[in-house]
Amino acid sequence: MRSSMLYLAGIFIRLIPETRLFGLKRCLLRLAGARLGRNVRVCSSARILGVGDLEVGDDTWIGHQVLICVGSRVTIGKNVDIGPRAYIGTGTHEIDSEGRHAAGAGVNKDVAIEDGVWLGAGCIILPGVRVGGNSIVAAGAVVADILPARVLAAGVPARVIRSL
């Protein structure tokens, strides 16, 4: 995706009613370089930032005030529901304990959300994470490690609470 095209698409999307005209929003995001499946629904307050690759599968919901920062690659599967104010990001830093800043060189690590996942409100998906298919990430959870398929994960950091 091109950052400037995505920025312009975001300006126009913010002018569209929050939960209406999803086809127009899909068209604008595709023009900006995102690869979106059929019936992807993006709320107007969601923000997608960056210059990386974004791919979203069919019948996925991206909720109110979701923030997706794409510095490398974010793949979101089919039939995914992303709750309000969730964050998905690929950017982080190497630790530099000897330098002037502990946050050393910037790096990007791909994120993958597999088919059928439900990301609860306010959850955080950190760089390098893969959330296995049909899993649930509880509201407010911070996912820092790979989650297997068909589990419920909660907490900070997120841990598997039970199998589904």
Whole-prediction pTM value? 0.95
In tens, the pLDDT along 10-35 reads: 899 999 999 999 999 999 999 999 99
> Sheet containing 111-113: which strands, arranged edge to edge?
35-36, 53-56, 73-76, 111-113, 130-131
Domains annotated for the chain, with CATH where assigned, are: 3-163 (2.160.10.10)
The span from the CA of 132 to the CA of 139, in Å, is 17
What pLDDT does residue 6 have?
82
- Of 2, 14, 38, 93, the active-site residue reads 93
In tens, the pLDDT along 62-74 reads: 999 999 999 999 9
Q: Using pLDDT thresholds of 50, 70 and 90, give the confidence band for residue 2.
A: low
Evaluate the omega torsion of the peptide bond into residue 17 and state whether it is cis, within 30 degrees of 0: no
Asked if 93 is an active-site residue, the reply is: yes
